[in-house]
Structure 1
Amino acid sequence: MQAVDKRSDSQGVFIAATPAQVFAALSDPTRVARWWGPDGFTSTIHQFDFRPGGTWLLTMHGPDGKDYANESRFTRLASDELFEIEHLSGHHFTLAIELRASGQGTRVNWRQTFDTIEHYQCVADFVAGANQQNLQRLAAEVLHSPDAR
C-alpha cells in the first residue's frame, strides 16, 4: 500500500461554531445540498441514508451546464466527530471529515484519499482548489444558515 499522505489532499478550516453545529450541516441532506461541491456547483440529493453502510446518491450540477452523477457509501460516522464516505462512481476515493473542538469553535480536517499516487497526481490541482472551496462553503452554511440557529 502506498503512503496515505502521498495520495491524499488534506485541508483544514476553523469554524467559529461547536462541533455539533458543524456536524448538523454534514448530516442534514437539505443543508448538504446547499454547500456540497466547489464554487458554481449545485447539488440535488436523491438518497441520503446517513448511517454506516448507507447509500448517498446525488447529482452535482456544474456551472458548465453538465450534470455529474455521484454515488457514495457512508463508511464511518461519529456524531459531532467524524463523517467518512467511500466515493464509488467515477474517481474512487475516501473522504474523511474530522471535527475537533478548538477554543471558541471547531477545527475541521478534510482528507480525500485516492487509491494510488498516480491517480491522485492526475487530479491533485483540481482537488486542492475544489476541497478548499467546499470547506469555505461548509463554513458559510454553518455560520449563516437559518437552520444553524
Structure 2
Amino acid sequence: MSQANDPSAAVSTERLLSASPRAVFAAFAQPERLAQWWGPSGFTNTFQRFEFSPGGRWVFVMHGPNGASYPNESVFREIEPDSRIVIEHVVKPWYRLTVTLAPHGDHTRLAWVQEFESPEAAAKMRRISEPANEQNLDRLQALLASERA
C-alpha cells in the first residue's frame, strides 16, 4: 500500500484556480462535468459507475487520442465537501490521489498528491504522471473558466 510519509513515493502538483472551493468541488462531484476534464489532453471518458460517496466505486474507460482504451476503477475513500477528496485507484498502477481545496481570496489553491506503492513505482510513473496531471488541471481550469464566461 501507500508510503504516505515518503515524499519520494508521491507525484505532487499545486494550482491556483479562479473559482471558489465549492465550484471546484462540484467539478469533481458531478459526473457529467468530471467526464469533460478528467485525463490528459485529447482524452475522453465513458463512465460506467460513479458513486460519489465514501466507499463508492468509480468505474470508467479513458479513451486516448490514439484510439486506445484504458479501463479504470477507483474507490472514493474520503469526501469532505468543498475541501478534500481521496480516491484510491484499485487497478494497476495502484495509487491514492488526495485532492485538497483551500480558499485563497476569491480563488482556490488545489493540491494534488498522487501516492504510489513505493518510491520505485513513483519513479517509473513520474514521467507519465507529472505532465498528465498538469494537463488534467489545465482542462479543469478551462472548464471552470468557460462556466464563468
The two structures have a TM-score, normalised by structure 1, of 0.94
- Residues 61-117 of structure 1 show CA distances to partners (whole Å, capped at 9, x for unaligned) of 001111000000000000000111000112000001100000121001100000101
Measured in 2, the distance between the counterparts of 1:36 and 1:113 equals 18
Unaligned runs of 5+ in 1: none
Measured in 1, the distance between the counterparts of 2:66 and 2:114 equals 24
Which of 93, 97, 100 aligns to 1:98? It is 100
State the shift of 1:4 in Å.
Answer: 2.7
The code of the aligned residue for 2:10 comes to S
Match for residue 7 of structure 1? 9
- Give the secondary structure class of the aligned counterpart of 2:13: strand
- Give the secondary structure class of the aligned counterpart of 1:139: helix
State the shift of 1:139 in Å.
Answer: 1.1
Which of 10, 33, 38 aligns to 1:31? It is 33
Give aligned pairs, total.
147
- Give the secondary structure class of the aligned counterpart of 1:63: coil
Match for residue 87 of structure 1? 89
1:7–1:114 contact (8 Å) kept in structure 2: yes
Match for residue 140 of structure 1? 142
Runs of 4+ in 1 over 3 A off after TM superposition: none
RMSD: 1.4
Percent sequence identity over matched residues? 38
The two structures have a TM-score, normalised by structure 2, of 0.94
